[in-house]
Chain A
Amino acid sequence: MASIAHEGHGHDHHGEHHHEETFVSKYIFSHDHKMIGKQFLITAVFMGIIAMMLSILFRIQLAYPGESSDFLSFFLGEKWAPNGVLKEDMYLGLVTIHGTIMVFFLLTGGLSGTFSNILIPLQLGARDMASGFLNMLSFWFFFLSSLLMTVSLFVESGPAMAGWTVYPPLSALPQSVSGSGLGMTLWLFSMAIFIAGSLIGSLNYIVTVINLRTTGMTMTRMPLTIWAFFVTAILGVLSFPVLLSAALLLIMDRLAGTSFYLSDIIVSGEMLANHGGSPLLFQHLFWFLGHPEVYIVLLPALGLSSEIIATNSRKPIFGYKAMIASILAIGFLSFIVWGHHMFITGMNPFLGSVFVFTTLLIAIPSAVKVFNYLTTLWRGSLVLTPAMLFAIGLVSTFITGGVTGIILADSALDIAIHDTYFVVAHFHIVMGMSAVFGMFAGVYHWFPKLYGRMMNTRLGYVHFWITIIGAYGVFFPMHFVGLAGAPRRYYDYSVYNEFNQNSYDMIMDLNVIVTGFAIFAALGQGLFLFNFFYSIYRGPKAPQNPWNSNTLEWTTPVEHMHGNWPGELPTVHRWPYDYSKPGADSDFIPQTVPLAEGEEEH
């Protein structure tokens, strides 16, 4: 897959780093952070396509239950969609793998993997990551786990079917659902490898940020992107090992006959002797990662958008220090809120009330961030590049999805809407859409740095408008499906016929709308894919600093080279947000420009 990443033509700036590179060392087992970033991006794009396709398949089932669809039988065949009607088990499989790929492979590997790799050394003024070899290893773990996850879709008994949270005992007992056989084993091994890769990557990011900043790049002169990646990496290092332990215990319950999560079970008429385990233990371990994971996904997106919004507003980001404080506060709080996923699992209600308190506290730094974005836009001089549109879209989805979080964090209210489509709508908007918008914003903004070429702006505009209309068209109505009490992960809603025909009609109306918008949005992504791959090869050559930005990555030559800067590393004299500073000649002052006589640093 990495071989797809194309790197323009001959190098003009080899300088003292002149040495022969083979195809393999340059494109496949590359130690260069820019190439590794691109490898992450391309792999994640392919995983994203798969996950999006899966969602369209099950959306068709939800809008037209029981109707024969050639589209379904085309992709799933007679085994999983006999006569074009999706099988119940496969529905759960599709939902599970869609969630897993989107959360871990697209939004964790793809977002933080890509942009941490590309931007950390470039924006800090480092020649490369602290360890190029570990960096390469981190990608190859990621790639291997992506392959395993994809393969699991094709095994005979089906992929994992216990939901992306894989709660045991459902995921532990092959008798309970067909996907808990080989499919689940592959899921667990894939995730274990993914976590190993993610850990290696995160450690590398942390070390690089702490040690390899160039002269003058103090912590409080770092762009907010780096702050976001830094805190994200710390979250990853502290929380992913807990998921690994959860997965390992589950592997042992499945393969070694232990009883960590199993107790007093009779399944398919077989009485198991396991006693004393607790399914709640898994949930605690899972969500101890699961909640920081939300911010592992979200913080990089917020970091990217901070940078993009400041640059394209031609204004400093408002409240730089408050933004850093918010990132730190969100990062800290994210570790003590996991229980809000478990209000109704039978966890002690007193513990629940503690989690209500900590969870709602997160709304404060989140609100600070939103208001700071708004104030940054206020009296700016906005250049609406596709990246800027996506960044503004991110702020919108962050608000819209964030406010419903207040309802879900309130345990008393969560009782009534837990596990309904209200939750699905909430986290898709606040985490899914925001992170996807942040990722798109990042790709459009840094594409010139990635490939030395420009993406097509007009196609970018069309892509943005299709995506945001599609996103709201899908997830706005979904809230109301949830308020009608519709549980998530239901194959169809025929049960409503037995107790409330009116609600059934309403749910079906909305489901058709949702599916329509989902297909519309998915087709729109075709434009992005086309624009992306086409521009890699044939896009117009990029200028060195296309967006008139202050940060260091735009002082490197357009053609990639080892060590990033041809001569000495740049020296930093100011923060990265001196846009439209009164008294300056131009509306931006790169970080490498020394303070003028009598000039004050922000």
Chain B
Amino acid sequence: MENKLIILLVIILGAVATAQLVRVYELSVKMRKTGEHDINTRDNHLNAKLMLGFMFFQFIGFIYLMFKYGWTGRGVAASIQGVETDWLLNLNFVIITIMFFFTNFLLFYFTFKYVKKPGVSAFYYPHNNKLELVWTVVPAIVLAVIIILGLKSWNNLTSMAGEDAIRVELFSKQFDWTARYAGQDNILGKYDYKLTTDNNELALMTTNTIDSSIRIIIEGPSGIKNIQKILNKRDTVLADSVTSVLRNDLSRKERLLRLLVQMKNNHSKSLDKYSWDDIIQKDTLVLCKGKEYEFNFRAKDVIHSAYFMHFRAQINTVPGMTTRTKFKPIYTTEEMRKLENNPKFNYILMCNKICGGAHYKMKMMIVVKSESDYKAWLASKAKETFKDKYFPAPAAPTATAVPADTTKM
């Protein structure tokens, strides 16, 4: 509380102090008998020198920051795509740094040099077509180079991944990431958000999961039947607001149910296998050095952005649509630690699109392994497919009993 008073006091005293200073200054101006619009030679030249001084402040500051911090923060590019990006980035940086120094130098130097001097008048020079043509055409040529190189890289970076690229899905929600590997067949199983339940967080589509969702939406704790029961209970009195919430809920669930039933009719059992062999992986994304990856992205609630800063890859994840990116890691985590000279270095996937209060904590660690290590890791996951998780051992795959589910739909 005391501190708050002090802050208030400082603000008030600051204003009073400035007021006094200006009073004093104004008296001095009155004594000089010149108007505020007459800029005297001393002020003029002082400001001109300060302008030149500022140029040095700006240039030295830039060079200092460049050498001290430069590229160090982002580290070496860790993917083939990243190497290409960094090469282009450096080239562009050279071009714009030259432009920055050249034009800022002219600006501040002219200000310094051509400040008003008694007896020297300005040079009447309204236009010169040749000059204007030069500085239209020269930037145009430089930009043409930048555009051509940029588009070439852009096409490389955004073209479809190769046939044999490993397919991984990254699922984003407030505030974490989940990975889904395509399993043995390298085909990701289908999904539909309406199939989301407690034991099927990624909403994968199989005959069983569709049935389970239909059952839950009809018979679950807050399913259609229960809502109807409450609404039809004539011996209790419900507030209008409660009734309208329930009615809305009911109509929403009726719509979802119809869509689910439609889905069931269209679903072919032969597609189940693509989902069953998928491997769901939380916390850490494990990648293999030297293999190309195609990442498919989904968002459950709001837009997120998958930002792989070390691989120089980024793409938004958007509810209602799938987005894609690809890259091929070229250093394992261990190799990168040596390159970065930092034994604690890790790769990371961050969220880079504002997604709510804990946005800044939404991340997934990434480990890049050598091929042999990766194969060993994959083997250890062989018994952790979606099917294994969905039907806890020793249940048989034909089981009709579906695990209890409490998901509020």
Residues of A within 8 A of B (CB): 70-71, 73-74, 87-89, 92, 161-163, 167, 169-170, 173, 176-178, 262-267, 269-273, 275-280, 313-322, 344-346, 349, 352-353, 356-357, 360-361, 363-364, 367-368, 370-375, 377-385, 389, 392, 395-396, 399-400, 403-404, 406-407, 410-413, 415-416, 418-420, 448, 454-459, 461, 465, 468-469, 472, 476-477, 479-481, 483-487, 489-495, 498-503, 506-507, 510, 526-527, 530-531, 534, 538-540, 542-543, 546-547, 577, 579-582, 587, 602
Contact A526-B14, Cβ < 8 Å, known A71-B7, A352-B154, A395-B107: yes
Any chain A CB within 8 A of the CB of B95? yes
Q: Which 8 A-B pairs have the closest CB atoms?
A: A484-B73, A263-B320, A546-B37, A454-B36, A349-B158, A412-B153, A485-B309, A70-B3
Any chain A CB within 8 A of the CB of B265? no
Min C-beta distance of B310 to chain A, whole Å:
8
> Number of contact residues on B: which range applies?
35 or more
User: Among B22, B82, B89, B255, which residue has its beta carbon within 8 angstroms of that of A530?
Assistant: B22
Min C-beta distance of A388 to chain B, whole Å:
9
Contact A378-B73, Cβ < 8 Å, known A314-B122, A406-B92: no
Contact A500-B342, Cβ < 8 Å, known A407-B89, A420-B352, A456-B22: yes
Cα distance A549–B169 in the bound complex, in angstroms: 65
Min C-beta distance of B85 to chain A, whole Å:
5
Could you name 12 residue pairs across A and B whose Cβ atoms are closer than 8 Å? Answer: A278-B318, A314-B121, A344-B305, A352-B154, A380-B122, A380-B123, A384-B44, A415-B313, A448-B37, A455-B36, A506-B73, A602-B126
Q: For residue A385, which residues in chain B have a CB less than 8 angstroms away from its CB?
A: 37, 39
Q: Given contacts A356-B154, A487-B307, A499-B365, could you give 12 more A-B pairs where the C-beta distance is less than 8 Å?
A: A74-B3, A88-B357, A267-B174, A270-B409, A344-B316, A385-B37, A392-B51, A407-B92, A419-B352, A454-B35, A469-B57, A543-B37
Any chain A CB within 8 A of the CB of B19? yes
Cα distance A317–B80 in the bound complex, in angstroms: 49
Contact A540-B29, Cβ < 8 Å, known A384-B44, A412-B88, A418-B314: yes
Q: For residue A507, which residues in chain B have a CB less than 8 angstroms away from its CB?
A: 73
Cα distance A89–B357 in the bound complex, in angstroms: 5
Instruction: Tell whether, in the assembled complex, residue B47 and residue A92 are in contact, meaning their CB atoms are under 8 Å apart.
Output: no
User: Among A264, A363, A375, A400, which residue has its beta carbon within 8 angstroms of that of B139?
Assistant: A363
Cα distance A486–B72 in the bound complex, in angstroms: 13
Q: For residue B8, which residues in chain A have a CB less than 8 angstroms away from its CB?
A: 74
Instruction: Tell whether, in the assembled complex, residue B121 and residue A381 are in contact, meaning their CB atoms are under 8 Å apart.
Output: yes
Instruction: Tell whether, in the assembled complex, residue B96 and residue A403 are in contact, meaning their CB atoms are under 8 Å apart.
Output: yes
Any chain A CB within 8 A of the CB of B164? no
Q: For residue B14, which residues in chain A have a CB less than 8 angstroms away from its CB?
A: 526
Q: For residue A530, which residues in chain B have a CB less than 8 angstroms away from its CB?
A: 15, 18-19, 22
Instruction: Tell whether, in the assembled complex, residue A468 and residue B127 are in contact, meaning their CB atoms are under 8 Å apart.
Output: no
Min C-beta distance of A286 to chain B, whole Å:
13
Q: Nearest residue in B to A491 (C-beta to C-beta)?
A: B360
User: Among A357, A368, A492, which residue has its beta carbon within 8 angstroms of that of B360?
Assistant: A492
Instruction: Tell whether, in the assembled complex, residue B25 and residue A456 are in contact, meaning their CB atoms are under 8 Å apart.
Output: yes
Cα distance A288–B315 in the bound complex, in angstroms: 21
Q: For residue A266, which residues in chain B have a CB less than 8 angstroms away from its CB?
A: 173, 193, 196, 300-301
Instruction: Tell whether, in the assembled complex, residue A384 and residue B47 are in contact, meaning their CB atoms are under 8 Å apart.
Output: yes
Cα distance A315–B307 in the bound complex, in angstroms: 51
User: Among A380, A392, A527, which residue has its beta carbon within 8 angstroms of that of B107?
Assistant: A392
Contact A472-B61, Cβ < 8 Å, known A371-B135, A412-B85: yes
Min C-beta distance of A52 to chain B, whole Å:
14
Any chain A CB within 8 A of the CB of B111? yes
Min C-beta distance of B307 to chain A, whole Å:
6
Q: Nearest residue in A to B307 (C-beta to C-beta)?
A: A487
Cα distance A455–B18 in the bound complex, in angstroms: 15
Min C-beta distance of B155 to chain A, whole Å:
7
Contact A410-B146, Cβ < 8 Å, known A321-B127, A374-B106, A507-B73: yes
Cα distance A600–B347 in the bound complex, in angstroms: 69
* Residue among B22, B25, B93, B252 with max Cβ neighbours from chain A (10 Å): B22
> What 1/0 mask marks residues of chain B from 317 to 341 whose CB sits below 8 Å from any chain A CB?
0111101000000000000000010
Any chain A CB within 8 A of the CB of B361? yes
* Residue among A269, A403, A491, A530 with max Cβ neighbours from chain B (10 Å): A403
Cα distance A178–B312 in the bound complex, in angstroms: 33
Contact A498-B62, Cβ < 8 Å, known A264-B320, A318-B125: no
Cα distance A345–B316 in the bound complex, in angstroms: 5
Cα distance A489–B359 in the bound complex, in angstroms: 8
Interface residues of B in 173-193 (CB under 8 A from A): 173-174, 192-193
Min C-beta distance of B31 to chain A, whole Å:
13
Instruction: Tell whether, in the assembled complex, residue A170 and residue B26 are in contact, meaning their CB atoms are under 8 Å apart.
Output: no
Min C-beta distance of A472 to chain B, whole Å:
6
Min C-beta distance of B305 to chain A, whole Å:
6
Q: For residue A395, which residues in chain B have a CB less than 8 angstroms away from its CB?
A: 107
Instruction: Tell whether, in the assembled complex, residue A279 and residue B69 are in contact, meaning their CB atoms are under 8 Å apart.
Output: no
Cα distance A316–B124 in the bound complex, in angstroms: 7
Any chain A CB within 8 A of the CB of B70? yes
Min C-beta distance of A517 to chain B, whole Å:
11
Any chain A CB within 8 A of the CB of B229? no
Cα distance A70–B7 in the bound complex, in angstroms: 8
Instruction: Tell whether, in the assembled complex, residue B346 and residue A498 are in contact, meaning their CB atoms are under 8 Å apart.
Output: yes
> What 1/0 mask marks residues of chain B from 56 to 78 whose CB sits below 8 Å from any chain A CB?
01100110010001111111000
Instruction: Tell whether, in the assembled complex, residue B36 and residue A456 are in contact, meaning their CB atoms are under 8 Å apart.
Output: yes
Instruction: Tell whether, in the assembled complex, residue B345 and residue A404 are in contact, meaning their CB atoms are under 8 Å apart.
Output: no
Min C-beta distance of A573 to chain B, whole Å:
17
Instruction: Tell whether, in the assembled complex, residue B301 and residue A169 are in contact, meaning their CB atoms are under 8 Å apart.
Output: yes
Q: For residue B107, which residues in chain A have a CB less than 8 angstroms away from its CB?
A: 373-374, 377, 392, 395-396, 399
Interface residues of B in 342-366 (CB under 8 A from A): 342, 344-348, 350-361, 363, 365
Any chain A CB within 8 A of the CB of B242? no
Instruction: Tell whether, in the assembled complex, residue B43 and residue A407 are in contact, meaning their CB atoms are under 8 Å apart.
Output: no
User: Among B44, B95, B342, which residue has its beta carbon within 8 angstroms of that of A501?
Assistant: B342
Instruction: Tell whether, in the assembled complex, residue A322 and residue B309 are in contact, meaning their CB atoms are under 8 Å apart.
Output: no
Instruction: Tell whether, in the assembled complex, residue B154 and residue A461 are in contact, meaning their CB atoms are under 8 Å apart.
Output: no
Instruction: Tell whether, in the assembled complex, residue B132 and residue A400 are in contact, meaning their CB atoms are under 8 Å apart.
Output: no
Q: Nearest residue in A to B48 (C-beta to C-beta)?
A: A384
Q: For residue A499, which residues in chain B have a CB less than 8 angstroms away from its CB?
A: 345-348, 365
Q: Nearest residue in B to A454 (C-beta to C-beta)?
A: B36
Any chain A CB within 8 A of the CB of B116? yes
Min C-beta distance of A554 to chain B, whole Å:
11
Q: For residue A486, which residues in chain B have a CB less than 8 angstroms away from its CB?
A: 73
